[in-house]
Amino acid sequence: MPVISVVKDADARTMTVTARFDAPIGRVWQVWSDPRQLERWWGPPMYPATVTEHDLARGGTVTYYMTGPEGERHGGWFRVRAVDPPHNLELDAGFADADGHAIPETPTAVIRVALSEPAGGGTQMTITTAWASDEAMEQMLATGMEAGMTAAVGQIDALLDLSAQA
Amino acid sequence: MAESERADALFHALADPTRRDILAVVLRDAYSVSDLARRYPISFAAVHKHVGALERAGLVTKTRHGREQRVRGDVATLRSAHRLLDDLEALWRGRIDRIDQLLADSTEGARQCP
């Protein structure tokens, strides 16, 4: 399993996922920098992502939507706060409408991605998601039931993986 | 309930569009199962079953109100920061696995087409 650790801190409103991949750092960077590769993993299997805009320069915008089982679209956006290929990427992330426009008054999070080359080979990726406030974190679920559902679909993925290993 | 059973119940509850709709309705206000049954072109028994699935997932609670039971969405469950983080953890575990698969696929591709 590539996931090394998941550290959840409800008080600090952060979650940090650390994973290690058996691939060179430049190759792992591509899963973020290539929109066609980003769409292959961002959305859960029942909610595949389509990236509509992808500018990973500082200040640039990435927009995408995920298509649900009944054809409904859930939009999202990133704004690039900082980028240093192939090591660091810092994004603001939020909800968008079907056309990719940010929905005002909806919660946003900051996603920090750090890639490094640990001794022994491969690439380590650390992803930290942070919310500005408890309200932003709660709203993410309370106002965005769909986001909760998307996450629930992710849960079944995890369960299927567990049962496949058993 | 074990974590995997809880997640299973949650996924099962949310996988059905009628149940998602019922949950959205009872998050706004409490309804009896009969009230809910009138909203959908399905039998009372079917609605009762949907409510049962939502209840097992901890997404709704039933409270007795005179002769009837009213169903209400459990906002506390939904808003729980820990729950949100659990869901987010599962989402990211799925993403990491898909990245791993994507990297493995491209390595195989490179081997096949040197």
Q: Which residue of B has its CA nearest to A125?
A: B96
Has the ipTM of the complex gone over 0.85? no
Question: Between the CA of residue A104 and those of A11, A94, A108, what are the distances in Å?
Answer: 25, 9, 10
CB of B112 within 8 Å of a chain A CB? The answer is no
Q: How far apart are CA A90 and CA A104, in angstroms?
A: 21
Residues of B in contact with A19 (CB under 8 A): 96, 99-100
What is the per-residue pLDDT across A25-58, written as a single tens digit (0 to 9) for each?
A: 999 999 999 999 999 999 887 788 999 999 999 9
* Mutation site for A-interface testing, chosen from B11, B12, B16, B101 by largest number of A Cβ within 10 Å: B11
What is the per-residue pLDDT across A93-136, written as a single tens digit (0 to 9) for each?
A: 988 887 778 887 777 889 999 999 999 999 999 999 888 777 77
Number of Cβ within a 10 Å radius of residue A60:
14
